Chains A and B, each alone.
Chain A
């Protein structure tokens, strides 16, 4: 099946720093999604991308759908303590017979005061 390579696996940053993480795939996706998971909770959708080259923002978060359809990145500007958590990218082939999302293994974001 498809695999997503998400990096970095973990990040230790200072409050106020900008954060960047990305996902790459060997397959072409029609949809890229970015989720955040807090401890003990389910993943919550942050940004959805549906078009190659699309750049979308949600507050301090910005994500882009790569033009090759095989990658996506998520940036967080001016990090704050509540940004701590696990961030997952997810891709979907789309079309008839879509079979759910393929997830990256997550980026653990830790913010040091």
Chain B
């Protein structure tokens, strides 16, 4: 079984709709992240969480919100989806037990299309 899972894997929605992307991990990691990938732009950080009570904005948080429901779950919401949010979204986790030697592990991604 995969250590980091994302649901759904693919989603088509319409402009103005609210949608939620979910991420679950069985690695027991404290830190979780949401990234967005666009062609030619690499991966950009949306939000990150160091533990259940900690939420931080990343480079491109506008238009997004997150919820850390438990250590193993981190959800990304688009309150009112717009077409330029069409992208590939990745969840990642890392273990603070490594100290400064942080290594992130990625889920399989959610492909989102906003019409």
Partners in one complex: yes
Instruction: List the interface of chain A (C-beta within 8 A of B).
Output: 1, 6, 30-31, 33, 35, 40-45, 48, 50, 88, 90, 92, 94-95, 98-101, 103-106
Evaluate contact between B101 and A48: CB separation under 8 angstroms. yes
A30–B100 Cα gap in the complex (Å)? Answer: 8
**Is A45 within 8 A of B45, CB to CB?**
no
Within B11-36, which residues are at the interface with A (CB < 8 Å)? 33, 35
Task: Considering the complex, give the chain B residue whose CB is closest to the CB of A93.
Answer: B100
Q: Interface on chain A toward B: helix, strand, loop, or mixed SS?
A: loop
Q: Are A48 and B103 in contact (CB under 8 A)?
A: yes
B103 adjacent to A100 (CB under 8 Å): no
Interface residues of B (CB under 8 A from A): 4, 33, 35, 40-45, 48, 56, 58-59, 90, 92, 100-109
B106 engages A100 (CB within 8 Å): no
Partner of A42, one of B59, B101, B107: B107
User: In the assembly, what is the distance between CA of A14 and CA of B107, in Å?
Assistant: 31
> Which residues of chain B come closer than 8 Å to A98, judged between CB atoms?
100, 102
A33 CB contacts on chain B under 8 angstroms: 103-104
Which residues on A sit within 8 Å (CB–CB) of B92?
Answer: 42
Specify which chain A residues have a CB less than 8 angstroms from the CB of B101 in the assembled complex. 31, 48, 50
Min Cβ gap A56→B in Å is 13
CB-based closest 10 A-B pairs: A42-B106, A94-B100, A103-B42, A105-B42, A100-B45, A103-B43, A43-B106, A50-B101, A42-B108, A42-B109
Asked whether B42 lies within 8 Å of A106 as measured between CB atoms, the reply is yes
A43 and B102 within 8 A (CB) = no
Chain A residue at minimal CB-CB distance from B10: A40
* Pairwise interchain contact B42-A99, C-beta atoms closer than 8 A: no
Does A42 lie within 8 Å of B90, measured CB to CB? yes
